[in-house]
A and B are shown apart, each in its own frame.
Chain A
Amino acid sequence: MIDAENIKHELKIDARALDIPDGAAEEFIRRSLVDAKKKVSDKKIITKMDLERAVSAELKKYNSDLAYIYKNRDGII
């Protein structure tokens, strides 16, 4: 089961580390998750990678650095 609350929590930490104001970050994380869920809702099976890709694409509209970190979190070490 993909945990949207967990993703939200991780993104909030990332946003704070990027000095994005809390209010703004919360708003566009919420919008990105909602839009990403809509994007993947037509799939029969939604993998973690599908959701990550969709969330990253939506986040890019608001903040490219946050989207980059979210997409490449596993590619640092």
Chain B
Amino acid sequence: MGIIFSVGAFILVTVILLLMQLKPSLFMLFYHSVYGRTSKKNVNHLSLYYIFGAMTTTSVLVAVCFFLTFDSSLIRWVLAGLVLAAGILFCLFYFQRGRNTKLFLNRKLANSLTKNAQSVKKPSDAFMLGSMAELPELIFTLPLYVVLALGLGGIEDAIARTSLGIIVVLASVISVMIVWGFYKSGRNLANIQRFRVKNKQFLRFFITGCYLILMALLIASEILK
């Protein structure tokens, strides 16, 4: 059961982090605005810093959770509850209603993030924007990092553990790279946004399903110990 839990937790956490929407949304706004004010060369240069910032925050969160988490029956049951709560919150509140991809964020915070994304000029601005993009979603992702820490803790080989941790960090920015790829292939903000609105409901239910399966995995790992 130990290795099944480790592999299952790794896969599910990676998939959920890959599909979270705040990082790619901010990137869309940032890319569109910077491209409208400068050049493609400059925006591609700044995009690297955005991705690097996002990866830095994810790495820190993975590392902190790994070193601070310890395994026990109680922790697993509490975590199962937290994952269930995060899943329900995600299903009900992550996306707001309407034909848009408005997120759960308070409008003041959303407008502030939008303004920050639109006013990026230097690499440090892009880095800060990328590193901040993870933080508002912690309510949905922090239980996942703890589950991941438990899963990685069950793998004895240090190299395998480190490699899986690196894969999770890379997976958290894949959605940003996909958006970047869309822009490079000639699509624009309008095309990408229409695509996101079209697939919003599918994404909502798919990720909620992943949360529920993760909760079931945690409970199974306790019951079948």
Interface residue ranges, A against B (CB under 8 Å): 12-19, 64-66, 68-69, 72-77
CB closest chain-A residue, reference B194: A68
Contact assessment for B36 and A77 in the assembled complex, using a CB-CB cutoff below 8 Å: no
Contacting B102 at CB < 8 Å: which of A17, A64, A65, A75?
Answer: A75
Q: Which residues of A contact B194 (CB under 8 A)?
A: 68
Contacting B26 at CB < 8 Å: which of A16, A19, A72, A77?
Answer: A77
Q: CB of B164 within 8 A of chain A?
A: no
Scoring B29, B35, B189 by chain A CB atoms within 10 A of each residue's CB, the highest score goes to B189
Contact assessment for B35 and A72 in the assembled complex, using a CB-CB cutoff below 8 Å: no
Contact assessment for A69 and B36 in the assembled complex, using a CB-CB cutoff below 8 Å: no
Bound together, the chains give a CA A14 to CA B28 distance in angstroms of 12
Contact assessment for B190 and A77 in the assembled complex, using a CB-CB cutoff below 8 Å: no
Contact assessment for A16 and B190 in the assembled complex, using a CB-CB cutoff below 8 Å: no
Contact assessment for A13 and B33 in the assembled complex, using a CB-CB cutoff below 8 Å: yes
Q: Is the interface of B mostly helix, strand, loop or mixed?
A: helix
Q: CB of B54 within 8 A of chain A?
A: no
Contact assessment for B193 and A68 in the assembled complex, using a CB-CB cutoff below 8 Å: yes
Contacting A16 at CB < 8 Å: which of B35, B111, B113?
Answer: B35
Contact assessment for B188 and A18 in the assembled complex, using a CB-CB cutoff below 8 Å: yes
**Chain B contact residue count (CB 8 A cutoff):** 27
Contacting A77 at CB < 8 Å: which of B25, B37, B188?
Answer: B25
Bound together, the chains give a CA A17 to CA B188 distance in angstroms of 8
Contact assessment for A76 and B101 in the assembled complex, using a CB-CB cutoff below 8 Å: yes
Q: Which residues of A contact B99 (CB under 8 A)?
A: 75
Min CB distance B189 to A, Å, is: 6
Bound together, the chains give a CA A15 to CA B22 distance in angstroms of 24
Which chain B residues numbered 55 to 83 have a C-beta less than 8 Å away from chain A?
Answer: none
Contacting A17 at CB < 8 Å: which of B33, B98, B193?
Answer: B33
Contact assessment for B32 and A17 in the assembled complex, using a CB-CB cutoff below 8 Å: yes
Bound together, the chains give a CA A44 to CA B29 distance in angstroms of 34
13 contacts between A and B (CB under 8 A): A16-B36, A18-B190, A65-B188, A66-B190, A69-B189, A72-B100, A72-B193, A73-B114, A74-B100, A74-B114, A76-B28, A76-B29, A76-B102
Q: CB of B213 within 8 A of chain A?
A: no
Q: CB of B103 within 8 A of chain A?
A: yes
Min CB distance B68 to A, Å, is: 30
Contact assessment for A76 and B98 in the assembled complex, using a CB-CB cutoff below 8 Å: no
Per-residue contact bits, chain B 1-42, to A (CB 8 Å; 1 contact, 0 not): 000000000000000000000100110110011011100000
Contact assessment for B100 and A65 in the assembled complex, using a CB-CB cutoff below 8 Å: no
CB closest chain-A residue, reference B43: A17
Contact assessment for B22 and A17 in the assembled complex, using a CB-CB cutoff below 8 Å: no
